[in-house]
Amino acid sequence: MKAVQYRAVGAAPEVVTVPDPEPGPGQVLLKVTAAGVCHSDIAVMSWPADQIPFPLPLTLGHEGVGTVAALGDGVEGLSEGDSVAVYGPWGCGICVNCAEGKENYCLRARELGIMPPGLGAPGAMAEYMIVDDPRHLVPIGGLDPVKTVSLTDAGLTPYHAIKRSLAKLVPGSTTVVIGTGGLGHVAIQLLRAMTATRVIALDVTEEKLGLARAVGAHEAVLSDEKAADRVLELTGGLGAHVVLDFVGAPPTVRTAGAAARVDGDVTIVGIGGGALPVGFGTLPYGTNVSAPYWGSRKELAEVLDLAHAGAVDVHVETYSIDEAPRAYERLHDGRINGRAVILP
Ligand code: NAD
Ligand code: ZN
């Protein structure tokens, strides 16, 4: 089968032919219908050899939807042909966090060497993929796989971040969304569907800000060194209750800290190498700074329920598997508006 692989440190991803996988006991084989292209892959492919926690080559793709092609011995509860989304942050399934479905915070994944598909285990950017356990699948019924696939990360990750701050997102509150790309443009829609907060979106191009407005941002502001002042102006000098940073670079975490109000939440989702110093007097009193990771199995089911209700519409650009390297290039250059999706 064809697969998109990251094969050598620092090299561009390549389309190669690899053996068709076969499901072992307890595993599920999917015929992949769609795989999302995430900026995290670009970050991983920029790491030096000593920081990469898995062997190469790696089949990319941590957002996957497919149809069940074969069941390994002992797997029950799924049938061939079922359309399913892959829950990516695989955990041990046994620790106290996994018992709650919070496999993204598995206590033993590192020790046991469990890694997500596309970020250690072979991923979704191939004609077929192996899912290690049926509990990592959520049936999507009649949802369009192409529109749904990115909800497994670009939907689930912002959903989890927003849920952590839900108590602050009362009517009259303000939320800043920094970076309105794959994750950010879904975050705006989730904020509008889940809360009555006012959304101020920040990005670096008019095209991205246009998408932010189209998906529900009340204000769209150019992200430069004056952006935090603009947020303060728009909030009567007080700042935002919640700031969600989907870039996480040094300038954006600075903006995030400066745009938050007293007792606000600054949530850094992007992995752009920025860090916000936390210490008395460095931030408004009581600021909560956190850097969450992905989301829980229950939250993925909730995001898919929102999709069934028509509350989220991921803007997608589709590519064939042979075009996947070009999709990564375009994402790297900031030229994808919404999410790129590969159709293997
Ligand atoms: P993306 O490239 O689709 O979107 C990033 C957006 O940020 C783009 O619209 C870009 O124009 C904008 N941007 C760049 N510099 C900016 C700046 N200075 N100010 C404002 N906007 C700016 O990326 P994505 O796939 O949505 O991923 C977003 C980030 O989230 C990445 O760092 C990714 O690695 C990370 N991520 C984290 C998790 C997690 O669990 N913490 C999960 C998925 C992705
Ligand atoms: Zn991702």
pLDDT value of position 89: 98
pLDDT value of position 190: 98
pLDDT value of position 154: 98
pLDDT value of position 302: 98
pLDDT value of position 344: 97
pLDDT value of position 111: 97
pLDDT in tens, 303-323: 999 999 999 999 999 999 999
**Same domain flag for 144 and 266:** no
Rounded mean pLDDT, 54-69: 97
**Same domain flag for 66 and 20:** yes
Measuring from atom 36 of ligand 1, which residue has the nearest CA? 270
**Same domain flag for 97 and 185:** no
**Ligand 2 center from residue 123 Cα (angstroms):** 12
**Same domain flag for 59 and 202:** no
* Contact status, residue 20 vs residue 163, Cβ threshold 8 Å: no
Atom of ligand 1 nearest to the CA of 202: 20
pLDDT in tens, 24-54: 999 999 999 999 999 999 999 999 999 999 9
The pLDDT confidence band at residue 161, using thresholds 50, 70 and 90, is very high
The pLDDT confidence band at residue 167, using thresholds 50, 70 and 90, is very high
Share of the chain above pLDDT 70, in %: 100
Would you give the DSSP letter of residue 20?
Answer: P
The pLDDT confidence band at residue 95, using thresholds 50, 70 and 90, is very high
pLDDT value of position 332: 97
**Model-wide pTM > 0.80:** yes
Q: Which ligand is nearest to the CA of 44?
A: 1
Question: Rounded to an integer, what distance in angstroms lies between the CA atom of residue 63 and that of residue 161?
Answer: 18
Q: What is the CATH number of the domain that holds 277?
A: 3.40.50.720
Residue (of 295, 304, 312) closest to 83 by Cα position: 304
Residue 246 burial class via C-beta count within 10 angstroms: exposed 0-12, middle 13-18, buried 19 and up:
buried
**Same domain flag for 99 and 9:** yes
Q: How many domains does the chain have?
A: 2
Residue type, 123: G
The pLDDT confidence band at residue 206, using thresholds 50, 70 and 90, is very high
**Same domain flag for 141 and 33:** yes
Share of the chain above pLDDT 90, in %: 100
**Ligand 2 center from residue 25 Cα (angstroms):** 28
- Predicted complex ipTM: 0.99
**Ligand 2 center from residue 344 Cα (angstroms):** 18
**Same domain flag for 259 and 214:** yes
**Same domain flag for 206 and 264:** yes
pLDDT in tens, 11-27: 999 999 999 999 999 99
**Same domain flag for 148 and 59:** yes
Atom of ligand 1 nearest to the CA of 269: 41
The sign one gets for the Cα dihedral 143, 134, 295, 344 is: negative
Q: What is the CATH number of the domain that holds 94?
A: 3.90.180.10
Residue 163 burial class via C-beta count within 10 angstroms: exposed 0-12, middle 13-18, buried 19 and up:
middle
pLDDT value of position 53: 92
**Ligand 2 center from residue 172 Cα (angstroms):** 31
**Same domain flag for 6 and 135:** yes
The pLDDT confidence band at residue 156, using thresholds 50, 70 and 90, is very high
The pLDDT confidence band at residue 169, using thresholds 50, 70 and 90, is very high
Q: Whole domain around residue 200: which residue ranges? A: 156-290
**Same domain flag for 177 and 245:** yes
pLDDT in tens, 96-151: 999 999 999 999 999 999 999 999 999 999 999 999 999 999 999 999 999 999 99
**Same domain flag for 165 and 144:** no
